[in-house]
Amino acid sequence: MMKDENSRELFLSALSGGKTPRPPIWVMRQAGRYLPEYRALKEKYGFLGIVKTPEASVEAALQPIRRFGFDCAIVFSDILALSEALGYPYEFADGGGIFLPKAISSPRDIQTLPPADVVRDKLSYVANSIKMLRAELPERAVIGFSAAPWTLAAYMVEGGGSKNGFKNFSNFVEKFPEEFSALMDKISEAIAEYIKMQCECGIDAFQIFDSNASYTPEGKYWKLSGAYVEKVLNGVGKGTKSILYLGDFGGRFSEAADIESDAFSVGPSVRLSEIKKSFAKNAALQGNLDPKLLEESSPAEIVSKARDIMKDMKPFGGHIFNLGGGITPKARLENVEALVNAVKNFGE
Q: Kindly list the residues in this chain that would bind ligand CP3 in the complex (CB under 6 A).
A: 28-33, 42, 47, 74, 76-80, 96-98, 145, 161, 209, 211, 326
Q: Which is nearer to ligand CP3, 142 or 342 (CB)?
A: 142
Q: Which is nearer to ligand CP3, 65 or 80 (CB)?
A: 80
In Å, what is the CA distance from 61 to each residue of 55, 109, 204? 10, 34, 15
As measured in angstroms, the least distance from the Cβ of 230 to ligand CP3 is 20
Determine which helix (DSSP H) or strand (DSSP E) holds 205, and give its type and residue range.
strand 205-209
As measured in angstroms, the least distance from the Cβ of 19 to ligand CP3 is 27
Q: Which is nearer to ligand CP3, 285 or 303 (CB)?
A: 285
As measured in angstroms, the least distance from the Cβ of 29 to ligand CP3 is 4
As measured in angstroms, the least distance from the Cβ of 325 to ligand CP3 is 6
DSSP state of 29: T
Q: Which is nearer to ligand CP3, 77 or 278 (CB)?
A: 77
As measured in angstroms, the least distance from the Cβ of 74 to ligand CP3 is 4
Interatomic CA distance for residues 22 and 308, integer angstroms:
13
In Å, what is the CA distance from 107 to each residue of 102, 170, 179, 188? 15, 16, 6, 17
Q: Which is nearer to ligand CP3, 50 or 303 (CB)?
A: 50
Q: Which is nearer to ligand CP3, 79 or 191 (CB)?
A: 79
End-to-end CA distance of the chain: 24
Q: Which is nearer to ligand CP3, 248 or 312 (CB)?
A: 248
As measured in angstroms, the least distance from the Cβ of 326 to ligand CP3 is 4
DSSP 261-295: -SEEEE-TTS-HHHHGGGS-TT-EEEEEE-TTHHH
As measured in angstroms, the least distance from the Cβ of 315 to ligand CP3 is 29
Paired with 205 in beta bridges are: 143, 241
Q: Which is nearer to ligand CP3, 17 or 286 (CB)?
A: 286
125 Cβ contact partners less than 8 Å away, ≥ 6 residues apart? 51, 52, 53, 54, 57
Nearest to 184 by CA among 145, 156, 218: 156
As measured in angstroms, the least distance from the Cβ of 304 to ligand CP3 is 25
Whose CB is nearest to ligand CP3?
211
As measured in angstroms, the least distance from the Cβ of 90 to ligand CP3 is 8
What are phi and psi for residue 116, nearest 5 degrees?
-55, -35
Q: Which is nearer to ligand CP3, 163 or 277 (CB)?
A: 163
| Helical ranges in the chain per DSSP H | 7-15, 36-45, 47-52, 54-68, 81-85, 107-111, 118-122, 124-136, 149-158, 167-175, 177-200, 221, 227-236, 272-275, 293-296, 299-313, 333-344
6 Cβ contact partners less than 8 Å away, ≥ 6 residues apart? 139
